[in-house]
Amino acid sequence: MDKPIFAGNFTQQEPIPEAGIEAAMAVLRSGRLHRYNLAPGEVGEVSLLEEDFAAFTGARYALAVASGGYAMGCALRALGVGHGDRVLSNGFTLAPVPGAIASVGAEPVFVETTEALTIDLDDLETRIATSGARTLLLSHMRGHICDMDRLMEICDAAGVQVVEDCAHTMGAEWDGVPSGRHGVIGCYSTQTYKHINSGEGGFLVSDDAHVMARAIMLSGSYMLYARHTAAPPADVFETVKYDTPNVSGRMDHLRAAILRPQLADLPREVDRWNALYAAVEEGLRNTPGLQVIERHPKERIVGSSIQFLLPGVSAPGIRAILAACAARGVELKWFGAEEPVAFTSRYDSWRYTPAQRLPKTDAILAGLIDMRLPLTFTVEDCRLIAEIIRDEVIAAQPQAAE
């Protein structure tokens, strides 16, 4: 009997909702694309989106910007992180995270990774003590949220400010608190492969008026900050407007227009993602040689991608499994490859940062496999994908042991 093959496309997103397309057409017809180009009395799509996003996260203030990477760099600048400062971050994350740290002239100090793919909190304590760093850029990489109660205890006790990278946790929660609301600033991305899609884009949220006023000035508000409606009062800007540089990275009305209906739909999409995730997880569970990543009961996840470990499988063994899955239409990424490929790079490929060794992270990344779950997949698709992976992992085992 022929082996079943999966024919779906792992990078195909759903279309922009019709309401977003209509709103975008209205912006195009108006000719007013710049966020501060407003008709008399008009609030504009960008400020409306910021109001929506503040409500969505429960934050006092929100700022929409040009990308998730920009949001993180802007957050660090707004906190006064600069040249020569050290910033703690996850050893397992994506390139824009160390990039944001480097963009302000600071140096990343990477922290080890647990088998749950979260930051290692014991190692974090050690590195806070040894590095002297007073800022943590915490990456909820691939949506895995660490014990946020313990993390905040550690950081608060040491006077470490926390910025959260929520590129993969927009819509997720820890113990009922939206992801991005534990630290002083939460950063999000609206890039095509995240949870809402404007091609490029991002957000910062915060309850801190002074920090948000600085972020708004930094993002390129000129002296037009009073046109923001999810912003601190004007008198707060008086204290920062002469000494905050303009590092333009604004959002425009066109992208805001296509994001607003998607944000309104996000809670429903989260349920759809989690149904796909559950189907793959269930299909993979109890596969000999394959370890699913157990999720913490306090985590409310957004299953837009799934990871698993192949502990003890050799590099050639993993390559063979990936090739066999690819031949059956299942596209897997591997964080253990010696050369960075596509979106997947590792802390040791970011050679502009001071060299560091993270043996625990290395051991995990060596067997870490990653797969996207776009909403264009069905639960049936996900069952088939899991079956294919399971077959190929089992089939490869005698080979890998040779």
User: Can you give the binding site for ligand PLP, defined by CB under 6 A?
Assistant: 67-69, 93-94, 96-97, 139, 141, 165, 167-168, 189, 191, 202
**Both structure tokens of 119:** 């930051």
**Both structure tokens of 129:** 């003590």
Q: What residue has token string 């400010």?
A: 161
Of 98 and 232, nearer to ligand PLP (C-beta) is 98
Q: What residue has token string 């707004």?
A: 78
Least distance between ligand PLP and beta carbon 372 (Å): 11
* Inter-CA distances, 43 with 109, 227, 234, 378, Å: 42, 8, 17, 39
Least distance between ligand PLP and beta carbon 89 (Å): 10
Of 47 and 191, nearer to ligand PLP (C-beta) is 191
351-356 long-range contacts, Cβ below 8 Å, gap at least 24? 352/102, 353/98, 353/101, 353/102, 353/107, 353/108, 353/110, 354/107, 354/108, 356/91, 356/109, 356/110
Of 162 and 290, nearer to ligand PLP (C-beta) is 162
Least distance between ligand PLP and beta carbon 68 (Å): 3
**What angle, rounded to 10 degrees, do the helices at 68-78 and 96-103 form?**
40
Least distance between ligand PLP and beta carbon 204 (Å): 12
Of 194 and 260, nearer to ligand PLP (C-beta) is 194
Of 113 and 191, nearer to ligand PLP (C-beta) is 191
Residue nearest to ligand PLP (CB): 68
Of 57 and 191, nearer to ligand PLP (C-beta) is 191
Least distance between ligand PLP and beta carbon 396 (Å): 29
Specify the amino acid at residue 272. R
Of 202 and 317, nearer to ligand PLP (C-beta) is 202
Least distance between ligand PLP and beta carbon 200 (Å): 6
> Rounded distance, CA 335 to CA 324, Å?
17
Of 45 and 165, nearer to ligand PLP (C-beta) is 165
Least distance between ligand PLP and beta carbon 91 (Å): 13
Of 192 and 239, nearer to ligand PLP (C-beta) is 192
Least distance between ligand PLP and beta carbon 163 (Å): 11
Sheet of 135-139: strand order equals: 61-65, 202-206, 185-189, 161-165, 135-139, 86-90, 107-111
Least distance between ligand PLP and beta carbon 69 (Å): 3
Least distance between ligand PLP and beta carbon 134 (Å): 21
Of 168 and 346, nearer to ligand PLP (C-beta) is 168
